[in-house]
Amino acid sequence: MPVIGSQWFSPWIWRMAWRDSRTSRKKLLLFSCSIILGVAALAAIGSLGTNLQRAIEQESKDLLGADLVITSPEPFSTEQEEFLKQLGGEQSREISLSTMVYFPRNDGTRLVQARALGGDFPFYGRLETDPAGASETFRRSGGGALAEETLLRQFDANAGDPIRLGGLTTTIAGRLKKIPGETISLPSIAPRVYLSMDDLSATGLLRPGSLARFRIYFKFSPATDMPRLLERIKPQLDKFRLGHDTVEERKRELGKALLQQGAARILEKTVGFD
């Protein structure tokens, strides 16, 4: 007969239940602990997701350094340039390519990713350099180059030392420590070296057939509806075969990756997975 109403508070009911559980108490304890650990893990994962989302929202602009990035594997055509001009906003350009860097002081060479930057990118966040003023010095024609820490440590190089990229010999303006939008660094393959767009022609690296990547960074007014803007220009981006990246897309990618990593760590510590 089922237990109903006030019978739940009967001492006799609880004594009988305790007696009947004698043969299964270890299983009951294991089952209860499993439920508790499962609930704790779910609560921790939910809390982690909320905290990550809050942190990502607070730093969303710094994830990309711009409101919109448009990329192309080849120089922009006249028709594409007209389309890009119509988008408006503040624009900054970057051309990146792989090349060898040469350190005359110790005769060292290394494959690097050279990036010629023109304009005020990053629009959000900042290039962190040592010394701090190097983030502005290198933007001037003849202002030198920024090189990643790993590269400079490898060749025991410092600010002021000579460096050669293609046909350009310049000096190291500073040590590059952090770049907005660059969440994953691959210094073991090709450390990054930044120079002014005005100095790119002197390197002689950008020639017909060069494997370069062309980027335009956009900053729009705060009132701009980015999802609507992207929806409007998407057909033309597809027509011109131009890639694009936005803050919202970067937030989703980063949030998903961080949440997966965090959830795996929580489960590992909670239930003892190896």
- pLDDT tens digits along 160-170: 999 999 999 99
d(CA 232, CA 93): 22
Please report the pLDDT score of residue 31 as a whole number: 67
| Residues 95, 165 contacting (CB under 8 angstroms) | no
Give the chain's mean pLDDT.
81
**What is the arithmetic mean of pLDDT over 111-118?**
95
Binned at pLDDT 50, 70 and 90, residue 236 comes out as: very high
Pairing of strands 108-118, 192-196: parallel
Q: Name residues whose C-beta falls within 8 Å of residue 256's C-beta, 6 or more positions apart in sequence.
A: none
| Verdict on whether the full-model pTM lies above 0.75 | no
Binned at pLDDT 50, 70 and 90, residue 273 comes out as: very low
**What is the arithmetic mean of pLDDT over 7-16?**
63
Q: Name residues whose C-beta falls within 8 Å of residue 122's C-beta, 6 or more positions apart in sequence.
A: 62, 65, 66, 179, 180, 181, 217
**pLDDT of 79-103, one tens digit each?**
999 999 999 999 999 999 999 999 9
Does the structure show a pLDDT above 70 at 141? yes
Higher pLDDT, 28 or 273: 28
Please report the pLDDT score of residue 208 as a whole number: 82
**pLDDT of 223-233, one tens digit each?**
999 899 999 99
Please report the pLDDT score of residue 184 as a whole number: 46
